[in-house]
Amino acid sequence: NSIINAILGAGNDSQQVLALHSALVHPDCVRVAKSAGFNSVTNKAMVYQWQQLRSMLSIALATAKEKGRIIDDQATFVNSILAAVAPDVDASAVPSVLARAELLGMPSRTAYRKLNQGELNREKLKVSKTR
């Protein structure tokens, strides 16, 4: 309780973020933070991989014109990535489309259409592998 009170009592949101971050990277707390899943090598690798994925999606979704369409090779690439990160139909606790769009760095309108197509592609792939 005292840890929570200390963080929440630090001031505004930015100050609370700084207080939590400072506690997690403090030399006396690093071991405990890593045991709890913070600052781990795995987390750093996942963040790096996700940033790479976001960057590649951004490049693949870029068009020469504001209302332009991406070429077929780029569309196939984007569809493959979105099928890979699409949730399974039976998955629980799936983040909202808006949350996933933000993580992927996609505009929400594009994300609704593309993420739904990714889910359909994932299901088609799973069905084709069970035959």
Q: What's the CA gap between 61 and 57, in Å, rounded?
A: 6
Q: Is the pTM here over 0.95, yes or no?
A: no
**Taking 90 as the threshold, does the pLDDT of residue 9 lie above it?**
yes
CB atoms within 10 A of CB 41: 8
**Taking 90 as the threshold, does the pLDDT of residue 70 lie above it?**
no
**Taking 90 as the threshold, does the pLDDT of residue 131 lie above it?**
no
CA dihedral 85, 114, 57, 78 (to 10 degrees): 80
Q: Read off the pLDDT of residues 105-125 as tens digits, 9 standing for 90 and up.
A: 998 888 899 999 999 999 898
Task: Provide the token pair at 42.
Answer: 């795995």
